Copies of this chain bind each other. A is one copy, B any other.
Amino acid sequence: MKALIIAAGEGKRIRDVSGELPKPLTPLLGLSLIERIILSAKSAGINDFVIVLGYKGDKIREKLGDGSRYGVSIEYVENKEWKKGNGLSVLSAKNKLSENFVLLMSDHLFDPDVLRELKKKKLAGADGILVIDRKKRDYIDLEDATKVRIRDDIIVDIGKNLDEFDGIDCGIFLLSDKIFDALEESLKRGDDTLSGGVRVLAEKRKMKYMDIGNKFWIDVDTKESLKVAEKHLLDSLIKPTDGAVSKYINRKISIPISKILVNTRISPNAVSILSFLISLLSAFLFSFGQWLYIALAGLLAQISSIIDGCDGEIARLKFQESRYGAWMDSVLDRYADALVILGMIYGYWISHPDITIWIWGFFSVVGSLLNSYTAIKYDQVIKERKRKFRFGRDIRMFIIMLGGVLNQVFVTLVVLAIITNFENIRRIIVLSSKE
């Protein structure tokens, strides 16, 4: 299925942010708005795009090229009459679209799940489905928004000036090529907007809707709405599986760092390796066995744990997630865990040459590594249910940081050995009752 993206308008209201750039190229967390639209659609399974250009179209074409940089294919259509209604932009792509297609706005950001759901819908006799929002959201400019009225499963009216309305047009459509006839009919009536065309279909009871529900969308047309979009994207980086230390401490530091790093060329894998190197340094400092070194080592372990959040955050913000990247990061984390514990054992043993520390250290490392081993299965089974508490790496590293700062290496390893292995036994028992 192809996606048609309208990127022809001037977007005067956001000029103070976009400056000389056309609105679709307004930057947001390392990507321009239109790149976010393309990559969101790609993650929902769309690989072929038709983009309608108008105002400063050359700059957009220069930026996006043929799409190969994004792993998609892009064709362009020029709408010379971009100053008129946006219906003309849709009409200008008529020859490029023969089958059902998705229509998107270059400035309407959305959760890719919305498009995944829309793509699965069947037109079933209708000529289009429009995604609408029935919730009140305080960041929607109701005056400027396009409203719709619905009855049963269809749209009965659409426009900016409806007195009563049931929802807001989210600018995301699934359409058959009948939309082009409808736009031409609307043109004859003197209305050159996309809403005009939709109204023609609505009159024939051929326009259905899909409620966006709780999923996010936003029409970015002012500096304020850009801020709202940025805040939403950053907040969504906190995962439901995050442990307490991760949620309340690490993310509060890693997210602002990621916000800066997305604007650089630093890749998520490079950040994984940086975090690993910081752990190595922590392990090395622990091995000296003296308090100032140990305190610094503990802090570095915690810093490494924080930085370890950034790789996934940058990957998600820039649509660079890969299963290999996540896996490689997890293997590096396991080696980092082991080496930090080895550094702790060795440093303590130099000044307390008793074998006991090696045995506790041994059980700490076994328990820690098997925490991660059992988590793979445990998280699969338990993921649906809400968990109050998740024991994971964030907490282990926090304990190591405390142990380092307080100069309590022995106690730390005893505590780690006990709680990590206890947690593994607990998981074996919990899962046995789920069988």
User: Chain A residues in contact with chain B, CB under 8 A?
Assistant: 322, 324, 327-328, 331, 334-335, 338, 342, 345-346, 349, 355, 358-359, 361-362, 365-366, 369-370, 372-374, 376-377, 424, 428, 431-432, 434-435
Contact = CB atoms under 8 A, between A and B. Distances in A.
Given A355-B349, A435-B322, A435-B324, A331 B369 contact: no
Nearest to A341: B362
Nearest to A424: B331
Given A355-B349, A358-B358, A331 B428 contact: yes
Contact of A373 (B322, B372, B434): B372
Contacts of A331: 370, 373-374, 424, 428
A106 B278 CA distance: 65
A432 B327 CA distance: 10
B349 A366 contact: no
A432 B322 CA distance: 11
20 contacts: A322-B435, A324-B435, A327-B431, A328-B428, A328-B431, A331-B374, A331-B424, A334-B366, A334-B373, A342-B362, A345-B362, A358-B358, A362-B365, A365-B366, A366-B369, A369-B369, A369-B370, A369-B373, A372-B373, A376-B376
A89 B373 CA distance: 53
A362 B360 CA distance: 12
Contacts of A361: 362
Contacts of A432: 324, 328
Given A324-B432, A328-B432, A335-B366, 9 more contacts: A327-B431, A328-B431, A331-B424, A331-B428, A345-B358, A349-B355, A361-B362, A365-B366, A369-B370
B369 A327 contact: no
A376 B370 CA distance: 13
Contacts of A322: 435
Contacts of A365: 362, 365-366
A86 to B, nearest CB: 40
Contacts of A334: 366, 370, 373
Contacts of A345: 358, 362
A359 B374 CA distance: 25
Nearest to A332: B428
A370 to B, nearest CB: 6
A230 B328 CA distance: 44
Contacts of A328: 428, 431-432
A39 B358 CA distance: 50
A340 to B, nearest CB: 12
A286 to B, nearest CB: 14
Given A342-B362, A355-B349, A431 B324 contact: yes
Nearest to A334: B370
A377 B334 CA distance: 14
Contact of A335 (B370, B372, B377): B370
Contacts of A376: 376
Nearest to A353: B355
A274 to B, nearest CB: 17
A342 B362 CA distance: 8
A377 B366 CA distance: 20
A372 B361 CA distance: 20
Contacts of A338: 362, 366
Nearest to A378: B327
A22 to B, nearest CB: 34
A277 to B, nearest CB: 16
A231 B355 CA distance: 53
A435 B325 CA distance: 9
Contacts of A431: 324, 327-328
